[in-house]
Amino acid sequence: MKGIHVVGLTGQTGAGKSTVSSLFRARGIKVIDCDQVSRDVVSGEKSCLADLALEFSIAILNMDGTLNRKKLASIVFGNPQKLSKLNELIFPHIRAEINRRVKELAKQGVPLVVLDAPTLFESGADADCELIISVLAPEAERLNRIVVRDHLTDQEARSRMASQHDDAFYSSRSQLVIMNDGDPELLHIKTLETIDLLERALRELNASEQTQDGSASDPEGAI
């Protein structure tokens, strides 16, 4: 996007993406939490709520017109067709809001923003990114984290993991991959190295653009 560099951050559930995202924030890099954007959109955007009510009936709305999340979840849970339809309806709204926020940051002179997005590819937001980073982890590590974090049974956690893409899917669509082997200190180091790489590339790109602008404004230098 003009005036700002957009990086996508995604990965499998339980891989440690949230930890990586927090380290980006700690370095002063702007991060858009796309999960929060999703919650904001379905909670407060009237056009999105209208689309959902038309598809799934007004039963998904509370008396005050807000979304009844539990009711909607009960309709789409375990029904791939309805879940797919839900995503089809909400992803355009979410992507539009993400782009609006990115443009606002660009107006403020922010040079780099990271989209923390579990469904980066599914939503189509990957098309708005110049570079994509995926956070991956061994299956056993992910399983343990999900069970502890989300208070799930082993089978429930495995079922959730099975519904997601495998390592090859993310690796083949990402320019950078951070592998989280379960060592917090090593993950910290890998993330900081990735941030350093991004910031160095950004400085080099800016220097190159300034050089090109200087050449373009100097006819003799351009010959």
**Binding-site sequence positions for ATP:** 14-19
Alpha-helical segments (H) within 151-220 = 154-162, 167-172, 184-216
Q: How far is CA 58 from CA 50, 63, 142, in A?
A: 9, 10, 37
Q: How far is CA 144 from CA 32, 121, 148, 187, in A?
A: 27, 25, 6, 17
Using DSSP's 3-state secondary structure scheme, residue 6 falls into strand
User: Distance from CA of residue 11 to its chain's centroid?
Assistant: 9
Binding site listing: 14-19
**Burial group, residue 115, by CB count within 10 angstroms (0-12, 13-18, 19+):** buried
DSSP string, 44-57: H-HHHHHHHHHHH-
Query: What is the separation, in whole angstroms, between the first and last Cα of the chain?
Result: 30
